Structure 1
């Protein structure tokens, strides 16, 4: 998987240097390669459900492992992220992330970064695309609980864009840490959009309810057991 990252970087970087479409094409090719090889190497099939967002929207996704990022970026035409600043220094990955419009932030300084992104969008300097954000702020293992952070609601209000929730069961097969990968069918499902204009608190409540409920259903479908309570 990591070897192919280097190979595709060599192939796509000359195009990406002169045209951002080359960066998107390289990322999409890599993500589809990982999905394909996971299918025949370890029996981990992957399925996208729901309508893939193609307009300028915010995608608020459940995040369980590296593989849900791979799945989303394999189908969304112009993905971009708010990402940890440390990732900028990652070989290949950091440069491509900046090239597609990701915004690096310090963990303790997310507010200023969001304000800058909102200003860029309003001024027309940010290229249109699909902003992918993880409301819990990090990877969360199946059955684990973690609160949804208010920054997602703040960004939703200030951008004035629809929000597409996304649920997943990926962590059942590809855990947040470790090297073991299990066969099965990993699913990322895009849910009904939440229109712009809601207040932050009701938006956050609705987002958490639909993402958590559907993710739980997908994990049960994948064979994960939950306590009756």
Structure 2
């Protein structure tokens, strides 16, 4: 019975947050079309209100640990669900995400992603996509912001292993900025698919930065070890054993 009630609450929550996205998007659209500040303000309001709604409606308490970066850095983050996007976006001054190109054509999301300076990537072209991504990112870094990339390239369920892609290292080398790893456990409560949202303590943790100049192989192994080990620790801290997933 408790699960059924939670599922209904989750369904209402999902309907509310996507309706709220549409309302905010339409209200701020005239402002966002002519001002990047307007787009940023709308998205900040959405992130903060959705984090609050998650706690009130489905019992997910969001927390950010560590020191959110404020300068021009690359944030390489574990990605488990939409909720870690919201927590990161709310925590840093101006996040710019590397995202699938098809999302740029999504109503509301596409408009605001372009105005925020998010960088679309065509994942099907591999080498060509990486070269284009580096070019586009360099152009966007003419303006201040925190570039957010997901080294595994997609949302990964808790406990599932997926390789880290070299595009993160190529950007790190090209931008010559610090890279801040970020770990999370949000997928334990807010999964990447489905309706059900489970109550609990969802955390994003910013880790110590990796300064510029580390060679590619060392960078990739250090990045993966830090993100995975800290994410595993966060998941174990809320009672989820990532080693039990097969």
TM-superposed deviation, 1:120: 5.4
* Alignment-derived partner of residue 135 in structure 1: 151
Query: Residues 18, 162 of structure 1: CA spacing in aligned structure 2 closer, same or farther, 3 A cutoff?
Result: same
CA distance in 2: counterparts of 1:203 and 1:94, whole angstroms: 32
Judge which range, 72-81 or 188-197, deviates more: 72-81
Kept in 2, the 8 Å contact 1:120–1:126? The answer is no
TM-score, with normalisation over the residues of structure 2? 0.88
Of Structure 1 and Structure 2, the greater helix share is in 2
* Alignment-derived partner of residue 13 in structure 2: none
Kept in 1, the 8 Å contact 2:104–2:120? The answer is yes
CA distance in 2: counterparts of 1:52 and 1:162, whole angstroms: 13
Kept in 1, the 8 Å contact 2:120–2:133? The answer is no
Question: 2:144 aligned with 1:144, yes or no?
Answer: no
- Secondary structure of residue in 1 paired with 2:182: strand
Kept in 2, the 8 Å contact 1:103–1:113? The answer is no
- Secondary structure of residue in 2 paired with 1:189: strand
CA distance in 2: counterparts of 1:153 and 1:42, whole angstroms: 37
CA distance in 1: counterparts of 2:190 and 2:140, whole angstroms: 38
- Secondary structure of residue in 2 paired with 1:15: helix
Judge which range, 168-177 or 68-77, deviates more: 68-77
CA distance in 2: counterparts of 1:102 and 1:43, whole angstroms: 30
Question: 2:51 aligned with 1:35, yes or no?
Answer: yes
Kept in 2, the 8 Å contact 1:28–1:75? The answer is no
Please give the root-mean-square deviation of Cα atoms over the aligned residues, in Å.
Answer: 1.7
- Secondary structure of residue in 2 paired with 1:108: helix
Kept in 1, the 8 Å contact 2:62–2:201? The answer is yes
Which of 157, 161, 182 aligns to 1:166? It is 182
Kept in 2, the 8 Å contact 1:173–1:186? The answer is yes
Query: Residues 165, 14 of structure 1: CA spacing in aligned structure 2 closer, same or farther, 3 A cutoff?
Result: same
Query: Residues 184, 111 of structure 1: CA spacing in aligned structure 2 closer, same or farther, 3 A cutoff?
Result: same
Kept in 1, the 8 Å contact 2:119–2:136? The answer is no
Length, aligned pairs only: 228
CA distance in 1: counterparts of 2:92 and 2:58, whole angstroms: 25
Map 1:209-228 onto structure 2 (within 5 A).
209-227=225-243
Judge which range, 163-172 or 150-159, deviates more: 150-159
TM-score, with normalisation over the residues of structure 1? 0.94
Gap regions ≥5 residues in structure 1: none
TM-superposed deviation, 1:83: 1.0
